[in-house]
Amino acid sequence: MTVALLGAATFVAVMHTLQLWQVQRRVESVEDELTQLADEILPVAARRLREGASLATISAEIPSLSNDVPFRILRLFMKEIEASERQREAAMSACANAAGRMQAMAVGMLADLREMEYRHNEDVLGDLLRLDHYTAQAGRIADSIAVLTGARTGRRWTKPIVMESILRGAMSRISAYRRVRLHSTCTAAIVGYAAEDIMHALAELMDNATKFSKPSEDVHVHVEQLSSGVVIIVEDAGIGMKPQVLERAERAVSTTEPLDLVALSGTRLGLAVVGCLARKHQLRVRFRRSPRGGVSAVLRIPAVLVTQPRAEDEPTVRNRRPVETDSPRSTQPASQSSAARLPKRRRGQTLVSSPPPRTRHRVETKPRADAGARFNAFRAAVRPDTPPTTAD
């Protein structure tokens, strides 16, 4: 009897130990698969979903799981991510469509305004020029939204655009353009397909420089042509940047960091837009302390985007004027000098690399009869006491 009881007790103990061992093995297996799920499968699945892969495709790519619970967790996770990605894409598409409509409206309004500028007399010309400038700034905001949403941005030029037109086109899109001083003897041009985006990036950097410096301080833009491309330095005398702010700015314009809309604060979209354009065209943007006490934004345009104007489109030497606007020998007020030379395009015109000499000669030898009155109206339109607009 005692032997039978002892045998039964031993059997129960062995079975209990075996069950405990099996349970322990199952727990360890579940833990291993949960670890694999958290460390490997979920990150890969999230990345593939953001890249546009379907749920069925990802399910076929992931390794099989022996336990049903981790697999159900994975399926639920992927469904939620897929739904959120669909919502994000729908919102981005709606914003892109709205930006496109705003761009079309701004372009149409600019064309109408510039046609009216040549049809009306000087009594209303000043108001038309102010509306022209405000509309150009609104168009830049629409372009910024288009950049951030991945939509088509701006116009595609068919010819290279000379650097002077690039710089002045960027100036014309910011509110405080009267404070920008250009220092450039660069004769290079930017290829047509990248000209609009580089103009936009420069406008954002100029706008930041004017916004974060005193209204009494000028912003200086220097251009240097190198064998590796063109370097443009936008230099202000503002308050500078703290190390953490500088690091955040460098990350925003990095060509390796993806766009993070969550990191955008308020209405300050400029650096995020510059970062998107830098990644698109492999531009390099760096920030450093300015000798004038503020910040210098250094934009390097790669050589692949730099070309030379065609010989037949080059203006003659006597017709070309340097792009220096801050010469100490000049007796003209800075506000008049900068404003009077903003780039203007009539309807149907493009910013070609350089206008043919014939055209320049014809315009110069046969000026409009009311040119003096129109210039006076332009000066009145950009008088210093005109309240600036907010670009962002």
- Give residue-wise pLDDT tens across range 57-115: 777 777 766 667 777 777 787 788 778 778 877 887 888 888 788 878 888 888 888 88
**Residue pLDDT, tens place only, 25-64:** 777 777 777 787 777 777 887 777 777 777 777 777 777 6
Cα-Cα end-to-end distance for the chain: 94
Give this prediction's pTM. 0.64
Residue whose entry in the numeric block shows the structure tokens 């009267």: 178
Looking at CATH, the fold of the domain delimited by 160-381 is given as: Heat Shock Protein 90 (3.30.565)
Closest CA to 173 of 212, 143, 145, 152: 143
Helix-strand-coil split of the chain, %, nearest 5: 60, 10, 30
Averaged confidence pLDDT in the chain: 74
Token pair for 135: 């509309």
Closest CA to 176 of 211, 212, 127: 211
- How far is 122 from 134, CA to CA, in rounded Å? 19
Q: Is the pLDDT of residue 331 over 60?
A: no
Q: Is 223 helix (H, G, I), strand (E, B) or coil?
A: strand
Q: Is the pLDDT of residue 256 over 90?
A: no
Q: Is 350 helix (H, G, I), strand (E, B) or coil?
A: coil
pLDDT value of residue 376: 53
Mean pLDDT of 115-141: 84
**Residue pLDDT, tens place only, 260-306:** 776 666 557 888 889 889 999 999 999 988 888 888 899 999 999 99
Q: Between these two residues, 40 and 317, which has the higher pLDDT value?
A: 40
Q: Give whole-number Cα distances, 118 to 75, 111, 168, 192, 379, in Å.
A: 65, 11, 21, 28, 16
- How far is 78 from 49, CA to CA, in rounded Å? 8
